[in-house]
């Protein structure tokens, strides 16, 4: 079983940076079978190890730095347990479905206006992070954890850039860019005339 695929990008970035601090760039590049430039990109957060390279990193950590490896294993386990607590039981799903009245579909024009701009003069729509998970189709606990890390710093910022979020959330910039694009697509954030982003809805974390 390839456990590397269960490790999110932001944790991969921290793991590889820790092991670089222990081994150095050149020894790690030799162990992974890549050039030093690739490992330097890992160190700077410009790139993230693939599943194949992450498997080799785990092997190196298991052999040379078992205590460091166990620290991340414990963190990953705790993240999974925390994510599982938010998953409703079969009984809860059944009870909810019985009491929910069927919703009348909104006209597409009305949905688009509400989703993208809201109503003038009113506060933005308030949503929870769990509603966003459902809307974006995020069922994997790791994907939900990544998005939660990105959403958290938005709450205290009037405007923000992708670089701001990557720096504050410790999530690789390319991953942040992907999630920001999806949030903007569904109208939870919007881009202003200066090219900065801002919340278009109140998000309960």
What values do phi and psi take at 190, rounded to 5?
A: -140, 160
What are the tens digits of pLDDT across the range 154-193? Answer: 887 888 999 988 888 888 888 888 889 889 888 888 888 8
Which of 41-50, 54-63, 81-90 has the lowest average pLDDT? Answer: 81-90
pLDDT of 38 > 60? The answer is: yes
Asked if 192 contacts 203 with a C-beta cutoff of 8 angstroms, the reply is no
CB neighbours of residue 168 within 10 Å = 17
C-alpha angle with apex 159: 114 to 151, nearest 5 degrees? 70
Domain assignments of the chain as residue spans, ordered by start = 3-85, 108-204
What is the fold of 108-204? Arc Repressor Mutant, subunit A (1.10.10)
- Does domain 3-85 fall under CATH 1.10.260? My reply is yes
CA distance 159 to 155: 10
Residue range 79-88, pLDDT digits in tens: 777 777 766 6
Per-residue pLDDT for 124 more than 70?
no
Phi, psi of 199 (to 5 degrees): -65, 140
> Which of 17, 11, 14 is CA-nearest to residue 43?
17
What does the pLDDT read at residue 107?
53
* Amino acid 187: pLDDT: 87
* Alpha-carbon Rg for the chain in angstroms: 20
Long-range contacts of residues 118-122, Cβ cutoff 8 Å, at least 24 apart: 118/200, 118/201
Q: Which of 67, 63, 66, 56 is nearest to 12 (CA)?
A: 56
Look at the pTM and tell me if it is higher than 0.75. no
What's the distance, CA 5 to chain centroid? 15
Return the minimum-mean-pLDDT range out of 3-17, 78-92, 148-162.
78-92
Close Cβ partners of 47 (under 8 Å, ≥ 6 residues apart): 38, 41
Residue 27 in this model has a pLDDT that exceeds 90? yes
Q: What is the pLDDT of residue 99?
A: 52
């Amino acid at each position: 079983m390839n456990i590397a695929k269960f490790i999110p990008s932001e944790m991969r970035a921290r793991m590889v940076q820790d092991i670089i601090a222990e081994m150095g760039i050149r020894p790690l590049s030799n162990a992974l079978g890549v050039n030093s430039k690739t490992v330097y990109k890992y160190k700077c957060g410009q790139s993230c190890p693939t599943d194949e390279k992450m498997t080799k990193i785990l092997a190196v950590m298991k052999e040379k730095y078992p205590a460091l490896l166990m620290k991340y294993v414990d963190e990953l386990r705790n993240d999974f347990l925390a994510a599982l607590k938010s998953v409703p039981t079969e009984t809860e799903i059944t009870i909810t479905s019985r009491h929910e009245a069927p919703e009348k579909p909104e006209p597409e024009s009305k949905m688009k206006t509400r989703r993208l701009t809201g109503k003038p003069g009113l506060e933005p729509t308030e949503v929870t992070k769990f509603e966003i998970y459902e809307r974006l189709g995020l069922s994997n606990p790791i994907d939900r954890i990544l998005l939660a890390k990105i959403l958290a710093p938005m709450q205290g910022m009037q405007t923000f850039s992708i670089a701001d979020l990557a720096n504050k959330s410790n999530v690789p910039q390319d991953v942040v860019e992907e999630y920001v694009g999806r949030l903007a697509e569904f109208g939870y954030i919007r881009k202003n005339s200066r090219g900065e982003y801002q919340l278009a809805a109140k998000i309960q974390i």
